[in-house]
Homo-oligomer: A and B are copies of this chain.
Amino acid sequence: VRPDTQARVAQAVKLLNYRPNFAARALAGSRSYLIGLYYDNPSPDYVAALQVGAMRACRESGHHLLLEQIDSESPRAASDVARRLHTVRVDGVILSPPVCDRAEVLDLLDREGVAYVRLAPAGDVARSPFVHMDDRQAAFEMTRHLQQLGHRRIGFIGGPVRHSATALRRRGFLDAMAAAGLPVERELVQPGAFSFRSGVGCAERLLSLPRPPTAIFASNDDMALGVMAVANRMRLAVPQALSVAGFDDSPIAQVVWPQLTSIRQPVAQMAAEATRMLVRPDGAAGGRLLDFQLIIRGSTGPAA
């Protein structure tokens, strides 16, 4: 384009206060400039982080964020998605866990020819582009942190089996214990459900053991809070008598006293990265691994 023509156009734009019409562009160009965020996660903190990241990336590329809550437990999940998709054609979809692991939903998206990127998928890694974090390594490093504080008997509280993160975090814990040559008795690994209440139950079992652990690593923050509540009730000072570690670094981690040592996941970045993969003209491909961060706060301290 010749520079003077460009200038003339720019001037006309200014003069007429021209704004491209979104609907017309969408119709003629057969793209909507809309990115769908399909989520199904009970945690508002997680979802909020997701949205912040996705929105940031959308603005970089002139897209907008369309929100769709999907009930992935429901048998109608796929047909719900289908209905939403038929009314508004989005340019791409971000799928967060656990919807991202529902095969029927993926099948539908494939069939409709809608591009999608999965966030922390449980498996089937070749099926679509995805963004994830190394849950195993994070749990490994948290466990090592506790070991370095002198803890030898460490209790672990896992998550629900259907969550992809559950197995990875337990693996990281077990690997770190093995690497340090520390035995892990069966009763030191408790199955939780990512809820405060389940954390309470597991903590009660762990702390009433004949030889209770000196540290408990709960594989999410809600459960870690449950552990702290039990410690409080049993008059066990944290961290002097019991160290407590969580996972997720949710906002509540800083709203308890002492503040919770946890793992910060790059949730917003993951969503931003997924969005960028979607809007990139050459299309998305492969997987992308993002870094976590070990956040050490007051709830973990030297073993007695």
Contact = CB atoms under 8 A, between A and B. Distances in A.
Given A22-B87, A44-B45, A55-B67, A233 B257 contact: yes
Nearest to A36: B64
A240 interface: no
Given A19-B86, A22-B89, A32-B23, A66 B66 contact: yes
Contacts of A229: 256-257
Max chain B Cβ within 10 angstroms of own Cβ: one of A52, A62, A68: A68
A20 interface: yes
Interface string A64-92: 11111100000000000000101111000
A285 interface: no
Interface string A206-222: 00000000000000001
Interface residues of A, number: 44
Interface in A1-43: 19-24, 26-27, 30, 32-33, 37
A251 interface: yes
Nearest to A27: B23
Contact of A48 (B32, B47, B84): B47
Interface string A222-235: 10010001001100
Contacts of A49: 44
Contacts of A33: 87-88
Given A20-B87, A23-B23, A44-B48, A65 B64 contact: no
A273 to B, nearest CB: 18
Contact of A255 (B24, B65, B252): B252
A87 B64 contact: yes
Contact of A67 (B67, B86, B87, B225): B67
A70 B201 CA distance: 41
A223 to B, nearest CB: 10
A22 B20 CA distance: 18
Interface of A: 19-24, 26-27, 30, 32-33, 37, 44-45, 47-49, 51-52, 55, 62, 64-69, 84, 86-89, 196, 222, 225, 229, 232-233, 251-252, 254-257
Given A23-B32, A52-B69, A252-B252, 6 more contacts: A19-B87, A22-B26, A51-B67, A62-B87, A66-B66, A252-B255
